[in-house]
Structure 1
């Protein structure tokens, strides 16, 4: 844990959207950020509530998130050119530059259509300084997201893509999705244990989204709470970020050198030999985190689930789905969904 610094000097206010976006894209809960920054849980919660804190404390948090205090205070990141992209106005840059597991570098922006009363979520990928071969390879990865969305455009648990295009003026590649008014699941997982009803709905939403992908021959492969958006209007879980998805029977898909540690990702996910059971593992780890209120150590899921009051069939389903060896996991989401649907919970 980082050493605490003296708290002195004037206070500052952090932009809550910037803070939560930085936490979400680094996969950090409140408790994890507290440890990295060397501050209290109350301090992090105060920041998330928009309350002022000492500048030195805010700087510690920014450093823990590998960004700057200016970014967290809402100072606009550079757009690197015009504030319009095709028919969209770039109204806000939501994140600093993020590096995905396959090395793709991107920012997330809030966009507004120039003619229509419509917001959108845009990801701009930086293809500058790449060789022709590197750029072509990265374009193939980036296009996987709109292609996946297109194959499931009417699925209620899959993000809806609007367009994707290359901006030759800046050598950025844009992927633009429909704006979902909600928050990434990672944010709520860092707060408290889910109720049985809320956990059941989450498990079903994610399972149905994954089943839709699997039926189209797509393995999500790197599913985690930062890539699931909980919509405010109906609390439905929406799966997004498909650049790293694996297309079955089409050979190697992404570079897997030095993938960052992800406690929700199956051990075999960084190999080319993956199948639907890779996603089943991530589904189970996410569900267990929601039910327990904390993520157990790998291999300790069964004992952790025994500490909460859930039906044995649900407990056994989750525990087997989170098995380290994929041969011990259920073979498909079709084996899992009926078990969760039969789980009787109060309203």
Structure 2
């Protein structure tokens, strides 16, 4: 598979990050199965350390640093979950972290970064500002940049989520993940195609940030300009390395609107009694909108995170 992370590398990453992560449970709901017309297995990364799957990739990247790199710490730009994940992984490893965050990032995510000892540098809420600010921080501190998604050490870590799903012995017909930068979708596709080549892997994306959908169908990377969606974790553009994996190993990408996302989010709160963030509801929203695609199947859905400001719930 080109120079993509191999199954052996994904398994090694899983061993490597054990001290940093939880093995999250897989839950199901009979009520949601009836509504969806299929058997749905929710991999609950909302219960993960830092409340999101991002703990996996950040931990793997930090553990792989050389001694020399550790001395100057790590830096990244992120609107939330990767920021907290990297700050926590750095804290556990005893090294510094510098986190560039857009001024519009949710307060709960800023507080999380601070609680893990990360130093926050705020910037304007656009990609150019994020990258420019980050470059200045790296130049000043000598920190190693750990990208939020477009980095194979991170993808390798995110792939361990699907590795655990397949380890449960469930014969999934399809696995659906949200797609923003593509690290989770790319990692899930690699692990799944290595372990069960006939299973389908599908990305789910908001219509207001549909660059992965458009790129997938055009077979060329189309950057996202001015994304607008309630799913704040998916406001980023698809990464180039991940696009290459997705073009080769993902079967489809589905889009849904914000109203459908809110409806799916509410359904999980009401039926499963668990806290998820809007980005996390995107795969279930895609399944419910396209029930005929999944009728009678065993469908795995990765619930990507649970970091939501409870004072600003959309229902």
Higher RCO by CA contacts (8 Å cutoff, separation 6 or greater): 2
Identify the structure with the greater helix proportion: 2
- Alignment TM-score, normalising by the size of structure 2: 0.31
Larger radius of gyration: 1
